[in-house]
Structure 1
């Protein structure tokens, strides 16, 4: 149970490699220095060289310290990453403050640190950096020096400067929120897929263990049969011997006991064979049995005959998650219905609980609804795992509420697809 939490924390706080951040900063420093050379020396615009070079040099010194103090594969996250991005924002603000402020065409680069934060930081820390960007915009609006120009400096109308400030603020806010939402969704999906793979791996290992047990029972059956025959011969010849008779009888009884154990293992492994073909009705009974003892009774309604399907870990674990969710919210019973036509196979999971909340019904199957959305303390991760696993088998899920109360989940497969799966 520890691994998912570790994986989840890694996705929640992805951070960035020091090497990546340093590389991006060197690119920015190179661009800033090249811009100063072109504008100041080639275009011959008057620039406050000492202050501008000091700002660029400060960024370079920080970058050298960053690559020196941290290991090659170290990562920055949380407060450390916020401070570094805030420095980049401040350094860009100082350069703009000395060269025209919001009238400078390069003012758009203030967006960069905030958008980077939106992809790597939680909402609160991203918000802090967004507020700091707003402070920088205000400072540039009121206290920036005139834009360097060959000849008399250009005076832009106040309404134009106001429009630039508002457009930058809107761009920063929109891009930050958009990128944060996209990144958060990607992290939620990645975290949920890790949980899905872990569940599938666990199910596959259990199935492989059953196959191994069957093979072991088969291989040990021969030697154990020989031991049983020898024990019987010894019992017939020396069973009444006062010195060895008791040991021989014990050997014979233990051999018989071992044989019975191997038979039980072989039968259990055969029942759990992941490559077995079984009727859809039998599969539903197995799914119902896997989640018992349940809080409420589970009833399987499956008219025979039903098509044969492959007993795959994806199919079993996906259906078990749906049934477990139904049991959790059911009032008095859960029903599993199986039906098939010439074109499709269908399984329906029904419960008589309160049903799905209207606000989350369109979002079911998403990786992380969160307790505030689900209203039941759940995150929706179980349904996402079930959706992912069943879709791997070619099925499609539809979630709805029953007219007489309760939730309904319909799972459909094209009949040709699910019937072909067990023939591969």
Structure 2
């Protein structure tokens, strides 16, 4: 529960304090019952029960407050600890003051303050608890003494000291362990955030370079298109040459279309977030496009999933990311790659299997890093997998690479689908 507040460290600590207070209230009720039944002491039961009721009421208000989206401040958390200190002081005042074996429970709020709050609050809490302890040395309602029950009272006093020590030890250990876990989680989140910022900076840098490259490629592509067109007209009777030049012109046309659509699709993604396609149509269209890009690559595709198929966001980032992964598998493959896809209502699962030599140990550890590649400079620069991994993770998916037992490697891709509104 309290999911909205669980991200804030102070909110988590307030939740734990709420739970600890519930435990304290139950322990107080149990102690009252045992003392009343076993010893039958004549102490201000009414006043002590009123204190417990007030503490329970305040804890109920805390429970209601935990459902609010207000951020928990240091001052609010400190005030919550003061409630426990004053409630404990009132109970001790009515039950023997400093002679009560539970006087050591003053250490609990002080320890919690030291573990969670700035040093100023800790020293204020230390001053308040010392002041309360000092006052209870001289001002309190003493416990009645019955010589016939003196031995029982002494044994219970020793038992109470033991119980107070056990409670203090367990609660302090529990709270400190939880605080350590929270600190480790925070450090982990900060490390992930720093890694994400670094990755975003790398993507922005690559995007800037890509925009400049796209601008500069327009002119040479137009020149190549003109020259190949003239060559196609000049060697009309050479069928093999005509077939090769037709493939070359198709590749040039595809490059020009990609550059033209790049800005158009980027603008559409900013405005609309991209179009939506049924996932089976998206895959078929993507593989048809890839077949035009890599006509020499042999592949097989198996797909399965419920029909009508759920929809996926069809934008340039998704398409280009999967194309990069397909190209990597094609570069590593010796004969043929195998593509398997299946989907459910929430996710698309894609497997790209090649029959190459597999991933080296270094590639397994560093795959997805910017500019890391096992290819030669003529084959690639190591940014395809990096961009694919970054884009798919940003969209809520994941990419995993691993070696197969027999031969080759497998690239597993998971992409979230658009759930239909029933």
TM range, normalised to the smaller chain? Answer: 0.3 to 0.5
Q: Which protein has greater RCO, CA pairs closer than 8 Å, 6+ apart?
A: 1
